[in-house]
Each structure stands twice: as C-alpha cells, then as structure tokens.
C-alpha cells in the first residue's frame, strides 16, 4: 500500500508538546520509516529561523513566527542516518501559530524546490494549528491538526485522513497496524554525528515556509 504510516499516540503527544513549546514560533520535524514498518520514528528538529536576531528579522520577510527552516546540520545528520540504515523520509511536521492547519502556498513551494513534483512525493505533511485563546495571556493549545500528501492525479497536495486506532494514529486507514513494529521518538537522536553532508546540502538553502 502506498506510503501507509502511523504515528504512535505518545509520539504524537511529543509533537504536540513540541508545537506548544515553540509557540508563538513554528516547530518542525521529520518522520522516518523502515521499509517493513508502519510506525514512523519522530525526529523533532530545530527551526533555525528562531535563532535569527531582531536585526535579521528586519531584513527578511520570514521569521519563526510565520515560517520554518529545519536546521541544515540536523537534517544532514538525519539524512545520513537514513541513507546508512535503508530507512526513508516518510514525512514532515510543522506548526502554524494562530493560523489554520492548511498546507499553504509557501508550504507547497517549500516541498517542491526542484520542479513540478515534490522532493519527497510519498511524504506525509502533518500541520498543527496552535492558538492561544484570549490573546497573549492565554495558554496555547493545539487547536487542530491535518495531514496532507501529494496526489499525482490532481497534481496537488490533498488532505488525508488521520484516524486513531488504539494507540496509533494511522494516516492510511486501510493499513493494518497490528502486523507491524513501532519505533519511538528520537531513537536515533545523538547516534549519528557524521560530518558527511549528502545531497541535502543543496537543499539547505531552501526558502522559508511561511504559515499562511
Ligand atoms: Zn506551513
């Protein structure tokens, strides 16, 4: 089945906590998956835009409140791990602060850096909407979450269902989670410190992905 995947509920909780922790900035991360497994491993990443100073933000249209850019060094290490282990990049997640969990034009642009098809056509993109009811003094919460995937037929990113099944959130409801093993969050974190910079280096200058 094409790109079926599932996120364990505890891992989804980590993603949501990551989104809340970064609010009012956007969080970001990557899903990787072994070929014979349904459950993904979640790799929270650093939105490098959050490290920009006020002066830099003045010069550029994007900052971490409305965009994200995965730290290229973290991504290089992650992709080296993927290449070394035969895993695949199964998807990405990021949050929108005080904005709908849509797949924005900027998200689309960021996912299609090299042509008319996505760089990762099988990838699932999970977008979380974080809002603080009552304004800045309100306690932020994850108001909604949606997943998207590239559709060859419509040549567009389309919503895909997220369904809870036991302790899993399954992106493709036809998949059978009972047959597969699962990994947890950050199982590879800290294991790969390779200096090698694979092809992703060419993507490290990817544009900001503005939220709305
Ligand atoms: Zn976005």
Instruction: Kindly report the CATH number assigned to the domain that includes residue 79.
Output: 3.40.140.10
Cα distances from 114 to residues 120, 189, 196, 202, 206, in angstroms, run 11, 28, 22, 10, 10
How many domains in the chain?
1
Q: Are strands 88-97 and 41-45 parallel, antiparallel or unpaired?
A: unpaired
Residue 206 per-residue DSSP state:
P
Which residues fall inside 5 Å of ion ligand 1, going by CB? Answer: 104, 107, 211
Does residue 156 form part of some domain? yes
Distance 178 CA to ligand 1 centre (A): 32
Give the Cα separation of 165 and 200 in Å (integer).
Answer: 34
For 174-200, the pLDDT digits (tens) are 544 443 444 444 434 333 322 222 333
Distance 179 CA to ligand 1 centre (A): 33
Cβ contact 88:35 at 8 Å: yes
Does residue 36 form part of some domain? yes
Distance 180 CA to ligand 1 centre (A): 30
For the entire predicted model, the pTM comes to 0.80
Paired residues of 87 in beta bridges: none
Does residue 195 form part of some domain? yes
Structural domain for 188, as ranges: 6-203
| pLDDT score of 14 more than 50 | yes
For 114-157, the pLDDT digits (tens) are 888 899 999 999 999 999 887 667 789 999 999 999 999 999 99
């Amino acid at each position: 089945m094409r790109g079926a995947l599932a996120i364990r509920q505890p891992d989804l909780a980590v993603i949501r906590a990551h989104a809340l922790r970064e609010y009012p900035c956007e969080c970001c991360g990557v899903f990787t998956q072994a070929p014979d497994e349904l459950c993904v491993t979640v790799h929270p990443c650093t939105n490098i835009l959050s490290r920009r100073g006020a002066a830099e933000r003045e010069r550029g249209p994007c900052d971490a409140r409305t965009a994200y850019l995965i730290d290229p060094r973290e991504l290089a290490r992650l992709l080296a791990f993927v290449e070394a282990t035969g895993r695949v990049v199964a998807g990405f997640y990021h949050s929108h602060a005080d904005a709908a969990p849509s797949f924005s034009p900027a998200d689309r642009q960021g996912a299609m850096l090299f042509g008319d098809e996505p760089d990762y056509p099988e990838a699932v993109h999970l977008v979380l909407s974080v809002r603080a009811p009552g304004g800045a003094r309100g306690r932020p919460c994850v108001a909604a979450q949606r997943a998207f995937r590239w559709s060859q037929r419509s040549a567009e990113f389309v919503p895909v269902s997220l369904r809870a099944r036991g302790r899993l959130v399954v992106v493709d409801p036809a998949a059978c989670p009972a047959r597969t093993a699962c990994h947890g969050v950050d199982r590879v974190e800290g294991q790969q410190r390779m200096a090698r910079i694979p092809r992703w280096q060419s993507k490290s200058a990817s544009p900001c992905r503005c939220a709305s």
